[in-house]
């Protein structure tokens, strides 16, 4: 069994809904950052405070410019499809656009949307639907190298870090592939496994399918999800650790965050970096006895330059590991520790 690519018609019009900030439209933000060449514009509902710096287009303007698909770039809590979005999506279909969604709710399950798509000959893509027939995990050793990003919390930079590591490995001439496990990553990579929609018995097996045996010198950079310390999403994080069998883990954290930053979970304190390292290594070693955390990826977006440097130095001092911010510093310190210094004549 192999993961099949998704065929979403480019270029994209990114739907930001009424998100208050870019973080609230993190799927659109991620796609725009990593696939700017296929992002033609943005569509915002009244009151939207998010802005990706793309042209604001109506559906008719987008279709006239050759846009192929409206990509839903934001989500409600729990991945549902709000009732007040339905008429908007019907209008997009009527204008000639396909629609791609990473919501848990399926577009085709909404009668008005399904009927509009059929009437106008348009496609609906639900990328958060796992394939049928997934196996249970086996834990059997397999060839190739794998690195999994793990986190102290949700939305701390696990996807961005995995993408950056994969990009920088490839620049060094290392055979490397980014393996998406969430809707944003799937939109970016064009394929992947929506692990938070997989029935739990098959979760680790789905990751084994996503990252099969590979050449001995090949690396899979696997996008992490959630956190072992999150009261709602820890199960997904654990299944990823067991199915990935990653020898290398990179721990992601947002500098200054001390509590779970997600509505409804007040009072849940985040672990220290050393506590998070110990827990993730213990869980990972169930299926990969050699697993170890090889570096810290710190999200310092809320800090000034001097504060960010100090936070990175503190994280490295606490853990004894290289600490990076993939946006500010790049990934070289972690890759140097993992792979060795950049060979002479290679620019990375």
CA distances from 279 to 151, 181, 257, 259, 268 (A): 11, 21, 19, 18, 16
pLDDT at residue 3 in the model: 87
CB atoms within 10 A of CB 71: 30
Q: Which tokens is 200 given?
A: 């739990």
Give yes or no for a contact between 93 and 122, defined as CB atoms under 8 angstroms apart.
Answer: yes
Burial of residue 225 (number of CB atoms within 10 Å: 0-12, 13-18, 19+): buried
Query: Could you tell me the pLDDT band of residue 265, with boundaries at 50, 70 and 90?
Result: confident
Task: Say yes or no to pLDDT of 253 above 80.
Answer: yes
253 touches 275 (CB < 8 A): no
Helix axes 234-244, 273-284, angle to 10 degrees: 50
Residue pair 175/215 in contact by the 8 Å Cβ criterion: yes
**5: pLDDT confidence band, cut at 50, 70 and 90?**
confident
What stretches of the chain show up as alpha helix (H) in DSSP?
Answer: 26-34, 59-64, 86-94, 111-120, 158-171, 183-189, 203-210, 234-244, 273-284, 305-319, 332-339
Pick from 144, 174, 179: nearest CA to 2: 179
Identify the band that residue 261 occupies on the pLDDT scale cut at 50, 70 and 90.
confident
Residue 302 has pLDDT above 70, yes or no: yes
In our burial notation (b when 16+ CB lie closer than 10 A, e otherwise), range 150-164 reads: bbbbbbbbbbbbbbb
Longest dimension (CA), the chain: 61
pLDDT bucket at 346, cuts 50 / 70 / 90 = low
Q: Which two tokens stand for residue 259?
A: 């509590």
Q: Is the confidence at residue 214, as pLDDT, over 70? A: yes
Q: Would you place residue 274 in the very low, low, confident or very high pLDDT band (cuts 50, 70, 90)?
A: very high
Residue range 12-126 in CATH 3.40.50.720: yes
Please report which confidence band the pLDDT of residue 345 belongs to, taking 50, 70 and 90 as the band edges.
low
* Per-residue model confidence as pLDDT tens digits over 118-139: 999 999 999 999 999 999 999 9
CA neighbor of 5 nearest in space, from 133, 131, 141: 131
Tokens of 240: 């990823």
Q: How confident is the model at residue 304 (pLDDT cuts 50, 70, 90)?
A: very high
Residues 6+ apart with CB under 8 A from 48: 16, 17, 18, 19, 20
Residue 76 is predicted with a pLDDT of: 67
The sign of the dihedral angle between the CA atoms of 121, 122, 123, 126 is negative
Q: What is the C-alpha separation between 284 and 159, in angstroms, rounded?
A: 19
| Residues whose CB falls within 8 Å of the CB of residue 123, separated by 6 or more in sequence, listed in order | 9, 98, 99, 117
Residues 6+ apart with CB under 8 A from 217: 145, 174, 175
Residue 275, SS3?
A: helix
Q: Are 187 and 102 in contact (CB under 8 A)?
A: yes
Mean pLDDT of 155-181: 96
Same fold, 12-126 and 145-339: yes
Environment class of residue 105 by beta-carbon count within 10 Å: exposed (0-12), middle (13-18) or buried (19+)? middle
Q: Quick one: pLDDT band at residue 1, thresholds 50, 70, 90?
A: confident
Per-residue pLDDT tens over the stretch 320-336: 999 999 999 999 999 99
**C-alpha triplet 56, 59, 64: angle, nearest 5°:** 95
Domain boundaries, the chain: 12-126, 145-339
For the chain, first and last CA: distance in Å? 35
CATH code for the domain defined by 145-339: 3.40.50.300
Give the strand order in the sheet containing 98-101: 39-44, 12-17, 69-72, 98-101, 124-126
Backbone angles phi, psi at 189, to 5 degrees: -85, -25
């Amino acid at each position: 069994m192999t993961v099949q690519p998704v065929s979403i018609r480019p270029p994209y019009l990114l739907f930001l809904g009424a998100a208050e900030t870019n973080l609230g439209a993190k799927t659109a933000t991620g796609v725009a950052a990593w696939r700017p060449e296929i992002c033609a514009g943005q569509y915002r509902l009244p009151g939207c405070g998010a802005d990706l710096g793309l042209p604001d287009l109506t559906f008719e303007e987008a279709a006239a410019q050759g846009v192929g698909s409206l990509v839903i770039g934001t989500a409600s809590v729990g991945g549902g499809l709000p009732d007040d979005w339905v008429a908007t999506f019907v209008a997009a279909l009527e204008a000639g656009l396909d629609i791609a969604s990473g919501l848990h709710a399926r577009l085709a399950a909404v009668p008005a949307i399904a009927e509009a798509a059929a009437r106008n000959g348009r496609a609906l893509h639900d990328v958060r639907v796992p394939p049928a027939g997934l196996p249970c995990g086996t834990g059997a050793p397999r060839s190739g190298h794998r690195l999994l990003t793990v986190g102290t919390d949700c939305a701390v930079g696990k996807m961005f870090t995995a993408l950056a590591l994969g990009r920088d490995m490839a620049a060094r001439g290392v055979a490397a592939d980014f393996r998406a496990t969430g809707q944003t990553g799937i939109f970016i990579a064009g394929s992947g496994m929506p692990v938070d929609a997989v029935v739990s018995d098959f979760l680790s097996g789905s990751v084994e399918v996503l990252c099969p045996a590979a050449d001995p010198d090949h690396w899979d950079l696997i996008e992490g999800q959630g956190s072992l310390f999150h009261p709602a999403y820890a199960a997904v994080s654990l299944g990823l650790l067991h199915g990935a069998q990653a020898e290398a883990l990179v721990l992601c954290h947002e500098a200054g965050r001390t509590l779970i930053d997600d509505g409804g979970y007040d009072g849940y304190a985040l672990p220290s970096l050393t506590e998070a390292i110990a827990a993730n290594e213990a869980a990972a070693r169930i299926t990969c006895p050699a697993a170890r955390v090889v570096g810290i990826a710190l999200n310092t977006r809320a800090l000034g330059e001097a504060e960010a440097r100090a936070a990175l130095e503190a994280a490295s001092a606490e853990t004894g590991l290289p600490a990076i911010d993939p946006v500010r510093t790049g990934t070289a310190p972690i890759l140097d520790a993992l792979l060795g210094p950049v060979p002479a004549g290679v620019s990375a």
